[in-house]
């Protein structure tokens, strides 16, 4: 009896093994391996740039491809560069991407594209067709950063970056660092899409520019040392550098204008994304010297309300800071009254910045401040009835009040100006 049971389980096993032996090659033949690609056969696209050239093939794609053999450590004097840029044009973005295949022995792999840069012209034409493809194609991430450049994306992607072998990866690092220090609003693709499809119908995008910073600095240094010109021999032209500077405002999918660096910071104040950063302002009664504060904590509230049947916006900001630098002569920060005075001055300063940002946005008729969203959440019916149509126009004429409350918590490690003890 026992023997019988054992034997039957054994035959069962044999049968199962035979079945598995038949199924496995079938599975391998029908399902497997067809999309297998070895890593070294991929051209890893680190950054993608999209420009617009009017004509039959308007889309110009520029890809920055990583060249791993150029990155090998200690591989001797191999002179191959760490990255390559390729360009292709096409009627649509997909068409352009297909055209790459004609020029590249390896398949272009977009799974690691972390940054997409749009040229000014492209952004003004409207990102809709491009964004549609990027959202539809499975290979692209949903988290890549969007940047706009007043120059062309092709130019930007050909520039080498100091300290980073692959500029596109360097830009990604820059973007992350920038977000950390809260210097500008930088959006991922998904945030951008949600911004332009929201009630506000606008989104901010960071602006990446190509700047010859060295040149202007050298020029200024030249002025300082104008007296003895033998000592300075700085070149009038420096290296071109990438710099994140300011914000591009999009209404729907079209670029409508740029905000300056200072205005971009106002944007952060309003949207409450400011964590860190500093406020620098002139000393009271002494415009020559500066005093600066390190921002520790901010809280912003955008309150929509109706007065006389018209929509108003009140921006309420609470801010806590500590003193970071004092170069004023006659200022004793150990006195509570001084602190009080500084708090008021600081509040006024911040208020002014925010106001200028709001005015700029209203002038551009781009609600990147998300007032539309806030108003809609608070008064959905009224907003729909009166403001949904022509929101940009309504936004441009919206009365906005700003109120800032400042608190200085600490004076840093010393209470005297200049670090002296007396």
Residue recorded with tokens 């191959």: 80
Q: Is 38 in the site for other proteins (CB under 8 A)?
A: yes
DSSP state, 383?
I
Instruction: Mark residues 139-158: x for contact with other proteins by CB under 8 A, - for none.
Output: x-x-----------------
> Which is closer to other proteins, CB of 164 or CB of 286?
164
Which 64-83 positions form the footprint of other proteins (CB under 8 A)? 66, 68-69, 71-72
Q: Which stretch binds other proteins (CB under 8 A): 96-104, 110-118, 233-241, 376-384?
A: 110-118
Cβ-based neighbour number of residue 6 at 10 Å = 9
Rounded Cα distance between 142 and 103, Å, is 27
> Which is closer to other proteins, CB of 20 or CB of 217?
20
Of the candidate residues 19, 22, 23, 37, the single one contacting other proteins (CB under 8 A): 37
**Long-range contacts (CB closer than 8 Å, 24 or more residues apart) made by 312-315:** 312/398, 312/399, 312/400, 312/401, 313/371, 313/374, 313/375, 313/398, 313/399, 313/400, 313/401, 314/400, 314/401, 314/402, 314/403, 315/270, 315/354, 315/358, 315/400, 315/401, 315/402, 315/403
Q: Is 111 in the site for other proteins (CB under 8 A)?
A: yes
Q: Is 115 in the site for other proteins (CB under 8 A)?
A: no
- Applying CB under 8 A, what is the total number of residues that bind other proteins? 33
Q: Is 42 in the site for other proteins (CB under 8 A)?
A: yes
Rounded Cα distance between 308 and 311, Å, is 8
Of the candidate residues 22, 23, 28, 101, the single one contacting other proteins (CB under 8 A): 28
Q: Is 61 in the site for other proteins (CB under 8 A)?
A: no
Q: Which stretch binds other proteins (CB under 8 A): 31-39, 50-58, 142-150, 400-408?
A: 31-39
Length of the chain: 422
Instruction: Give me the residues that bind other proteins (CB under 8 A), please.
Output: 3, 7, 10-11, 13-14, 27-28, 31-33, 35-40, 42, 44, 46, 66, 68-69, 71-72, 109, 111-112, 114, 139, 141, 166, 169
């Amino acid at each position: 009896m026992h023997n019988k049971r054992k034997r039957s389980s054994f035959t069962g096993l044999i049968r199962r093994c035979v079945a598995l032996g038949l199924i496995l090659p079938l599975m391998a033949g029908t399902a497997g391996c067809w999309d297998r690609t070895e890593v070294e056969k991929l051209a890893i696209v680190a950054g993608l740039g999209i420009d617009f050239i009017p004509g039959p093939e308007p889309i110009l794609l520029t890809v920055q491809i990583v060249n791993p053999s150029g990155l090998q450590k200690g591989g001797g004097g191999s002179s191959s560069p760490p990255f390559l840029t390729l360009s292709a044009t096409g009627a649509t973005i997909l068409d352009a991407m297909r055209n790459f295949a004609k020029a590249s022995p390896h398949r272009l792999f977009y799974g690691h594209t972390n940054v997409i840069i749009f040229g000014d012209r492209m952004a003004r034409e409207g990102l809709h067709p491009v964004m549609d493809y990027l959202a539809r194609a499975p290979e692209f991430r949903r988290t890549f950063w969007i940047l706009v450049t007043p120059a062309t994306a092709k130019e930007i992607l050909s520039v080498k970056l100091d300290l980073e072998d692959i500029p596109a990866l360097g830009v990604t690092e820059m973007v992350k660092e920038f977000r950390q220090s809260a210097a500008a609003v930088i959006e991922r693709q998904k945030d951008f899409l949600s911004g332009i499809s929201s009630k506000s119908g606008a989104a901010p995008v960071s602006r990446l520019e190509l700047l010859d910073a060295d040149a202007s600095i050298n020029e200024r240094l030249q002025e300082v040392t104008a007296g003895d010109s033998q000592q300075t021999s700085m070149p009038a032209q420096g290296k071109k550098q990438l710099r994140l500077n300011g914000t591009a405002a999009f209404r729907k999918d079209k670029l409508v204008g740029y905000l300056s660096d200072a205005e971009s910071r106002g944007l952060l104040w309003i949207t409450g994304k400011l964590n860190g950063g500093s406020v620098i302002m002139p000393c009271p009664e002494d415009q020559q010297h500066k005093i600066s504060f390190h921002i520790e904590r901010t809280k912003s509230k955008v309150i929509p309300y109706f007065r006389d049947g018209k929509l108003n916006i009140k921006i309420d900001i609470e801010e806590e800071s500590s003193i970071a630098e004092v170069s004023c002569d006659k200022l004793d920060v150990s006195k509570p009254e001084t602190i009080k005075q500084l708090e008021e001055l600081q509040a006024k300063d911040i208020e002014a910045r925010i106001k200028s940002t709001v005015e700029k946005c209203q002038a551009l008729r781009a609600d990147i401040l998300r007032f539309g969203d806030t108003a809609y959440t608070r008064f959905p019916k009224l907003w729909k009835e009166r403001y949904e149509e022509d929101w940009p126009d309504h936004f441009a004429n919206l009365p906005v009040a700003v109120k800032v409350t400042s608190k200085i918590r600490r004076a840093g490690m010393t209470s005297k100006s200049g670090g002296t003890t007396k």
